[in-house]
Structure 1
Amino acid sequence: MAIRIAHPDELPNLVRIPGRPERNAGTAAYLDDLIAKKCTRPEWCLVAEDSAGQLTAATALWTLPGSAVPMALVLIEAPWDEPGLTTGQELLSEAAALARSLGATELEHVIDSPVQPPQFQAEPERRAELLQLAGFARARDGRRFRRHSGAGLTSYDDRLTWRSVTDLGSEPFIALLTQALPTSADAQLGAMVARHGARGAAERLFADMEQFSFEPAWWEVGHTPDGTPAALSLPARNASTAVIGLVAVAPECRGNGYATAVVARGTRLLVEAGAEEIRGDCDAANIAMITAFERAGYENFADRLEFTRQL
């Protein structure tokens, strides 16, 4: 078995699975789109080749459009019936080494269920097993939500007065995040605080969000009538779709439905900007966010297990 960069004539198909034409066409189109948007590059696509010259496993490094540093793995395929998942382990080891050489300090991968485009992740239990064997740890048990155009907009919540990052600058956003993150119900955010401290995690999270596409007028802090910064809204666009992005509510202001107000606010701004579909994720334990999405007309279309590995 050899692990190598995919040849040009192997792109964008990589590993094809017999009898699954929808999956083969869908994953090829997805990889082609990622390459076009510079979320990956041909030299970031790795394959495993057996002694007969057949491709048996594959993955690609992923990042935000145009970034030179990988952030995640996508399109992982391996011989799922192989004892010990040896091929998959060697593939992910090579992928981690490549990512490290490009400046990455962490890699992520997500497993969505039920099986759906664009990655068509069959064998979710074996996938999770492979990730753990390869040094990844489970970071979050998540829920995915989406809202299509045509759904009614939630009525405007007039309890908060909104001011944008253009007016405020970034410091009030980071300050509110510093307050909110240590008691967040999101396991992934809690892990960031444990590694970097509340202020460090807030700064990193805000900087990560700045890599998305957004209009400064979309990013807002909502204030209560007495001027207290209560809630933060960071809607944006990623390479594929519009997203709610990040929602945070100051600890002393929780229990007032402000998360619902933030999702409704971000949704309205994105719809007015022409978004046909909007997505959002949250931790399965974050009941306030699940409620906020449901009240704003979103459907829980998938569950998502998120894994991370330090490099």
Structure 2
Amino acid sequence: MRPITGRDELELFSRLPYVLNEELADDLAAGRRRPQWMWVALRGNRLLARAAWWCRTGDDTPFFLDVFDIDDNDPAPDRVDIGVRLLRTAMAGVVPAGARPPEYGRCVPPGWRDDGVARRVVEDRMAALERTGARLFVERLRLEWRPGTPIPEPSGRLRFRPVRDTEEILLLMAQVLDGTLDAHSKDDLTRMSAREAAVRHYEDELAHYRSPRDWWRIATLPDGEPVGFVTPARNDYNPVIGYLAVVPAHRGNGYIDDILAEGSRILAAQGVPRIRAATDLGNVPMANAFQRAGYVNFERSINMTWE
């Protein structure tokens, strides 16, 4: 059990299939991954398990454990044990002593519970992670809009304008945390104020977008009162609806559909090949809004955390 030596061992690391394999080379080149964060469990030349952490562009510490695989074709009854041993060994080498390990996230098929093979694969990984102390945090829907899917014309109920400055978006981000259904936001609010949670979200995600901030929109009533906002953007991989919310006083009026449509129009006008988005499985109002807008649930993600 060891980290890979570098790009020369990417072929070895990629022997186990996963949707992120095609991104590994670019991530290494951009510094979002480091060879010392990419671990393998080998028996001779056979890859039995692997784990890898990712960081945001410009950072020097791992932010997310997003690759953890066990050889699904290995009939050995100890394959989960091998995954546990790899995780423990790799975390000892990657995570500073006493620090909380970065969150784990895994993309899974949308109907994984109804497919016996997919369910075994997902549950094997979850079992291994649980034995290292991780627990299920949230299951999320991964959504996608494709060109050709109709986008509703503006209803005329709202006006849209660019965000004036960082302070304006932070004030709105803090405001919409009241009554949030997002698991990460609710967890943040157990440990910090709404303002602190907004700043953390901004610095961890929105500040890293590669697209112009003037794509972002504040939605207002005709008199100028803000009712919500949307941040259409490009991250390191895809065009995305990064953040979409309605302020508490204006929820329940269907404004979410108008705001999502505006964000989708801005990205579609750039000629993008797709628009990605995500929301918690339990955030039913948001999930329903994406469905009405023609976004398809192409994957789910399993997110697990350590105390």
**TM-score, with structure 2 as normaliser:** 0.85
Tell me how far apart the structure 1 counterparts of residues 5 and 120 of structure 2 sit (CA, whole Å). Answer: 25
After TM superposition, give the deviation of residue 37 of structure 1 in Å: 3.5
Q: Is 1:228 aligned to residue 225 of structure 2? A: yes
Tell me how far apart the structure 2 counterparts of residues 287 and 85 of structure 1 sit (CA, whole Å). Answer: 34
Task: Letter of the 1:191 partner, please give it.
Answer: D
- Describe the shift of the 1:287–1:241 C-alpha distance in structure 2 as closer, same or farther (beyond 3 A): same
Correspondences of 1:47-66 after superposition (within 5 Å): 47-50=40-43, 52=44, 54-66=46-58
Which residue number corresponds to residue 46 of structure 1?
39
Task: Letter of the 1:87 partner, please give it.
Answer: I
- Describe the shift of the 1:106–1:228 C-alpha distance in structure 2 as closer, same or farther (beyond 3 A): farther
Which residue number corresponds to residue 114 of structure 1?
109
Correspondences of 1:1-311 after superposition (within 5 Å): 3-8=1-6, 9-14=8-13, 16-17=15-16, 23=17, 28-50=21-43, 52=44, 54-78=46-70, 82-83=77-78, 85-101=80-96, 106-114=101-109, 123-165=121-163, 168-208=164-204, 209-309=206-306
Task: Letter of the 2:156 partner, please give it.
Answer: D
Task: Letter of the 2:130 partner, please give it.
Answer: Q
Which residue number corresponds to residue 20 of structure 1?
none
RMSD value over aligned CA atoms?
Answer: 2.8
- Describe the shift of the 1:151–1:53 C-alpha distance in structure 2 as closer, same or farther (beyond 3 A): closer
Identity of aligned residues (%): 31
**TM-score, with structure 1 as normaliser:** 0.84
What secondary structure, in the 3-state scheme, does the structure 1 residue paired with 2:223 have? coil
Please identify, of 80-89 and 177-186, the stretch whose mean Cα deviation from structure 2 is larger: 80-89
| 1:164–1:220 contact (8 Å) kept in structure 2 | yes
After TM superposition, give the deviation of residue 242 of structure 1 in Å: 0.7
After TM superposition, give the deviation of residue 245 of structure 1 in Å: 0.7
Tell me how far apart the structure 1 counterparts of residues 267 and 89 of structure 2 sit (CA, whole Å). Answer: 39
Task: Letter of the 2:301 partner, please give it.
Answer: R
Tell me how far apart the structure 2 counterparts of residues 228 and 291 of structure 1 sit (CA, whole Å). Answer: 25
Which residue number corresponds to residue 115 of structure 2?
none
Which 5+ residue runs of structure 2 have no aligned equivalent?
112-117
After TM superposition, give the deviation of residue 83 of structure 1 in Å: 4.1
After TM superposition, give the deviation of residue 241 of structure 1 in Å: 0.9
- Describe the shift of the 1:53–1:275 C-alpha distance in structure 2 as closer, same or farther (beyond 3 A): closer
Tell me how far apart the structure 2 counterparts of residues 238 and 113 of structure 1 sit (CA, whole Å). Answer: 21
What secondary structure, in the 3-state scheme, does the structure 1 residue paired with 2:95 have? helix
| 2:41–2:86 contact (8 Å) kept in structure 1 | yes
After TM superposition, give the deviation of residue 29 of structure 1 in Å: 3.0
After TM superposition, give the deviation of residue 15 of structure 1 in Å: 5.8
Tell me how far apart the structure 1 counterparts of residues 77 and 58 of structure 2 sit (CA, whole Å). Answer: 36
| 1:44–1:61 contact (8 Å) kept in structure 2 | yes
Tell me how far apart the structure 1 counterparts of residues 11 and 222 of structure 2 sit (CA, whole Å). Answer: 54
| 1:93–1:134 contact (8 Å) kept in structure 2 | yes
Tell me how far apart the structure 1 counterparts of residues 79 and 45 of structure 2 sit (CA, whole Å). Answer: 22
Task: Letter of the 2:189 partner, please give it.
Answer: V
| 1:234–1:246 contact (8 Å) kept in structure 2 | yes
- Describe the shift of the 1:185–1:115 C-alpha distance in structure 2 as closer, same or farther (beyond 3 A): closer
Between Structure 1 and Structure 2, how many residues are aligned?
Answer: 296
Deviation per CA, 1:107-162: give whole Å up to 9, x if none.
Answer: 1222333289xxx9970011112222222232222111101122222212432222
